[in-house]
Amino acid sequence: MQQVIIDCDPGIDDALALEFAIKSKELEVLAITVVAGNAPVDIGVENTFKVLERCDRLDIPVYRGAEIPLERPNVSAQDTHGMDGFGESGIVRQSKVQPQKETAEEFLTNFFSEKRDVGILALGPLTNIALAIQLNPKLGQNIQRFVTMGGTYKSHGNCSPVAEYNYWCDPDAAKMVYESLGSTIEMVGLDVTREIVFSPAILEYCRRINPEAYEYLRKLTRFYFDFHWQYEHLLGCVINDPLAVACYISSEICNGFDSYVEVETQGISIGQTLVDRYDFWQKEPNARILETVDTKEFFTQFLTVLLDAPEATIASDLNLLKLG
């Protein structure tokens, strides 16, 4: 079982990713740090508690992080995730549990002040991570792994022709992390996450296997389905963050290559990840860029956990469904 700290900006796909990670038998989620991104940070904290309550894991500590990016004003993605960051689903929480007193960056700095067999799974803008590196420059050497949902190599952007939201929202933080983390970054970018389409057929399949989970998923994703139809004429929704969880659980679910990556922080292509695959700049690789994904294996793992169903059932049923 791998121990992990999740930094996130819940957000609909973050919420699915958190439930996947928390309920997975392969991961132990030690703590959750929240960053402004899809929604303001306090809404992200609230949504984190909604997921912990659903998973009956309010024992997992939550740390409130950055309200704004390092340099730029925060541009939320509430047009995509709803004003409540939870698909305007009406899903609320009963508990009154509050975040810890330490800020996210203080927690990350202190926790990784020494080497740990614990990794970080970053599902939002990298502001908290960058702030922690500023406080503790050795952070990168003390973590076991760093997996980030963000960036894109060949796939078009989702915030501009070339930029993916997490790195576009806080390009200065992303640049700092890629320049100074000091350990290999596993970049789960749009090249692979765009293959992960939670479709109406898959949602209908959920209804057959676990009606309670279906009802929750239907409420949570309706807004996201509407956004994808309106802006991409896609039936269903791309669930980016759960793929980063799956990559953390079993890295072979995606294939890729090592490369030097730089993040643009200025001008028309701000937030773009420049992947120097053919080594023009002659710099040591700082990242592993994931380029292909086993979509069926992802949905087998994801639905087994979220529907609390036997893996063999899900695996054989998925042969009947058209995925992606």
DSSP state at residue 121 = E
CB 15 within 8 A of CB 51: yes
Based on the shown chain and the rule CB under 6 A, indicate whether residue 165 belongs to the binding site for ligand RIB.
yes
Q: Using CA atoms, how far apart are residues 124 and 113, in angstroms rounded to an integer? A: 23
Residue 166 CB, nearest approach to ligand RIB (Å): 5
Q: Using CA atoms, how far apart are residues 161 and 269, in angstroms rounded to an integer? A: 8
84-123 residues in contact with ligand RIB (CB under 6 A) are 123
Residue 27 CB, nearest approach to ligand RIB (Å): 18
Q: Which of 159, 160, 133, 161 is nearest to 146 (CA)?
A: 133
DSSP state at residue 36 = S
Number of residues that bind ligand RIB (CB under 6 A): 16
200-209 and 211-232 helices, crossing angle to 10°: 180
Q: Which option in Ca ion, ligand RIB, none does residue 165 bind, with CB closer than 5 to 8 A by kind?
A: ligand RIB
Tell me the three state secondary structure of residue 51. Answer: helix
Task: Mark residue 259 as left, alpha or beta (left: phi above 0; alpha: psi -120 to 50; beta: remaining).
Answer: beta
Q: Using CA atoms, how far apart are residues 309 and 217, in angstroms rounded to an integer? A: 15
Per CB under 6 A, the segment of 11-19, 60-68, 222-230, 315-323 that binds ligand RIB is 11-19
Q: Judged by CB, which is closer to ligand RIB: 100, or 155?
A: 155
Q: Judged by CB, which is closer to ligand RIB: 289, or 314?
A: 289
Cβ count near 247 (within 10 Å): 26
Structure tokens at 106: 């203080």
Q: Judged by CB, which is closer to Ca ion: 40, or 259?
A: 40
Q: Which option in ligand RIB, Ca ion, none does residue 158 bind, with CB closer than 5 to 8 A by kind?
A: ligand RIB
Based on the shown chain and the rule CB under 5 A, indicate whether residue 7 belongs to the binding site for Ca ion.
no
Q: Which option in ligand RIB, Ca ion, none does residue 69 bind, with CB closer than 5 to 8 A by kind?
A: none
Based on the shown chain and the rule CB under 6 A, indicate whether residue 241 belongs to the binding site for ligand RIB.
yes
Q: Judged by CB, which is closer to ligand RIB: 37, or 236?
A: 37
CB 108 within 8 A of CB 138: no
* C-alpha torsion angle, residues 166, 171, 174, 178 (rounded to 10): 140
Q: Specify the pairing of strand 254-263 against strand 273-276.
A: antiparallel
Q: Judged by CB, which is closer to Ca ion: 65, or 124?
A: 124
Among 24, 128, 240, 286, contact with ligand RIB (rule: CB under 6 A): 240
Q: Which of 149, 191, 186 is nearest to 7 (CA)?
A: 149
Per CB under 6 A, the segment of 135-143, 158-166, 205-213, 274-282 that binds ligand RIB is 158-166
Q: Which of 261, 260, 314, 307 is nearest to 284 (CA)?
A: 260
Mask 232-251, x = binds Ca ion (CB under 5 A)? ---------x----------
Residue 177 CB, nearest approach to ligand RIB (Å): 15
Residue 170 CB, nearest approach to Ca ion (Å): 12
Given the rule CB under 6 A, which residues bind ligand RIB? 9, 11, 13-14, 37-38, 77, 123-124, 149, 158, 164-166, 240-241
Given the rule CB under 5 A, which residues bind Ca ion? 9, 11, 14, 123-124, 241
